A = this chain, B = another copy of it.
Amino acid sequence: MSFAEFVNYKAVELARHVVRMTAAAGSGHPSSSTSLAHLTTVLMYHKMRYDLANPWNPLSDRLVLSEGHAVPIIYAAYADLGGVVGADPRHGRKLTLDDLGTLREIQSVVEGHPNPAFGFPFFDAATGSLGQGVSVAAGLGLAARMDGIDKTIYVLCGDGESREGQIWEAIDFLADQKLANVRVIFNANGMGQSDYVSPQQGPEALAAKVKAYGLRPITIDGHDPEAISKALSAKATGGRPPVVIAKTVKGWGVRELQQVGYHGKPLSAKDVEAALEELKLPALKPDLVLCPAMPKGEAPAAPAGPIAMPDPDFVALAEGTKFVGGAEKRKLATRQAYGLTLRALGRASPRVVALDADVSNSTFSEIFRKEFPDRFVECRIAEQNMVSVAAGLAAAGKIPFANTFAKFFARAYDQVEMAANTCANLKLVGSHSGVSLGADGPSQMGVVDAAFFGSLASVRTPKGHPACIVLNPCDAVSTYKLACLMASYEGMAYMRTLRPEGPFLYPPSEVFHLVGQKVLAKGQDLTVVAWGYMVLEARKAIDALKGEGIACGLVDAYSLPLADDFLEAIGAGEGTRLLVVEDNYAGGIGSAVATAAAARGNVHVTTLTPARMPKSGRTADDVLAYVGIDCGSIVQRVKAILGKA
């Protein structure tokens, strides 16, 4: 039996599994799956070098299924090969053909779309929201290069999916970074969900685009085993990987599935019978048995565990930068303090990697960049790609800090959510958060970030962590401490930093927890709860109120989720009055404190968030006043609550 005969046999066998498992599930995407029958077989039985018994093996080639809905065919191959699954490397078990019958069941590891978080570690990233896989693969490839591991990252992409701009951000990135270890394969089956794909995504157009982006297209028949094998063996030229465009048939092997409109539909019981008739296995059983080769080499020793960091000495931290003066005067912007901390983390752990999207001189990741150019990844103005690359780096054991303006992370919220679904160990730091940046106006202000990331903070991952922890420090010391905690924490965290410079509020020895708060002042009349910039504004207000005989406390509620004992920890009891002030739209700590308080029903909480859309103003104070959250607004609100207005 020849190689081609084996692949053809397996392709039929896998397609049969796909038809049955999706019918059993009552949903799923058999037509997309069978279009990948030969590509999957050549990859998983022959081309990829990987460790079936240990899917966590860092030396293994990886497969990213960007068109996640086609996953049944991957499950079929993996079960046929007896690959190991499990949420924990200590308790793996082989996936069986019987498991395929549990597709999409609530207890099953074989999810509707790929997700390592539910026990399928063959994958590195949750996919299913389209267009993200090439970026994830680029992150995996980058990590392998950093670690000196000789492996290949394969990524299967739909043609319709290639309409997503992120795919082309990723192709630009592959070319920029000369990532020779990534192999993109476009599955050009010509059909989308509701229609045929546009000619703009046809195989000729794809080839022309790939070439224009500086990579070499190789167009093949995606059901021809020899052609697939040869194309996947093509070498990179000048560091630039070839890109395979595989022409395939959606619903390969089953005529019923080949119609437009059959996307995402399993066959009925009757049609399954007919399909299995069509998908006839050759009489000859394979005498050639291919299975994946083991990966080569030895894994580099990866330092694990928390990163030990001393208390900060900002004058020392600022050495060699333009921030020595600020550190001496104890006046730094939190974004500056963060940049200095990032460099210190880079010195403390080789796992720390930084990414930026052409604003490193604003986020101050440039301080890290200068010292660690090999661990700094310039992603240019393409935030979606940056976040998914970071997710790939995280999957490969790095601690990636991705940086841009808080506002511009909104460009990648879908990618952030997918990384959260993956339980990715991702660190996101958004500068210029809130409205205090002033002059540039709302297009540059992170004001919905608190609600978005705060929403993720409300749920637990399968590992039991919040899907994201949100941090909003108000001074240099808390920025340092929280950034260090972020780095040591194995999970997703998002930190907001600020444009304006501010004073140091905490001594270097202050102890922080990732989820927590600090009582900065006590006062019998009312307690102001704030985070980030608003702690500074609230301090001013409290001073002003003191002059009028009103005693207010102040809490720095720097994290979301709130600690479970938040109200107790700040001493809130029967009849306590709280005023929560934020420089973001509602959905941040105000909502969280109100939710905690309303569950008790005896704590009075007033929330103060921007009342109207911000606009440009020459100073932070102008804008804070415009949206009604400046010192004067806080003073007024406190007096109104206390009936002293």
Contacts and interface: CB of A to CB of B under 8 A. Distances in A.
Interface string A453-469: 01110111110000100
A282 interface: no
A497 interface: no
A175 B200 contact: yes
A167 B164 CA distance: 10
A129 B408 contact: yes
A166 interface: yes
Interface stretch (A50-58, A336-344, A434-442): A434-442
B609 A598 contact: no
B587 A359 contact: no
A418 B444 CA distance: 10
Contacts of A475: none
Contacts of A194: 356, 358-361, 366, 378
A617 interface: yes
A69 to B, nearest CB: 8
Contact of A462 (B192, B456, B602, B612): B612
A11 B261 CA distance: 55
Given A168-B168, A193-B362, A212-B205, A601 B595 contact: no
A124 to B, nearest CB: 15
B616 A261 contact: no
A100 to B, nearest CB: 14
B452 A455 contact: yes
Given A165-B168, A213-B209, A598-B597, A612 B448 contact: no
Interface in A6-28: 25-28
Contacts of A598: 593-595, 597-598, 603-605, 607
B599 A601 contact: no
Interface in A423-457: 439-444, 447-448, 450-452, 454-456
Given A105-B617, A200-B214, A598-B604, 4 more contacts: A104-B441, A413-B414, A447-B455, A448-B452
Interface of A: 25-28, 68, 104-106, 108, 111-113, 115, 117-118, 126-131, 160-161, 163-169, 172, 175-176, 192-195, 197-198, 200-201, 205, 208-209, 211-214, 261, 356, 358-362, 366, 378, 380-382, 384-385, 407-408, 410-411, 413-414, 417-418, 420-421, 439-444, 447-448, 450-452, 454-456, 458-462, 467, 575, 577, 584-587, 590-595, 597-607, 609-613, 615-618, 622-623, 625-627
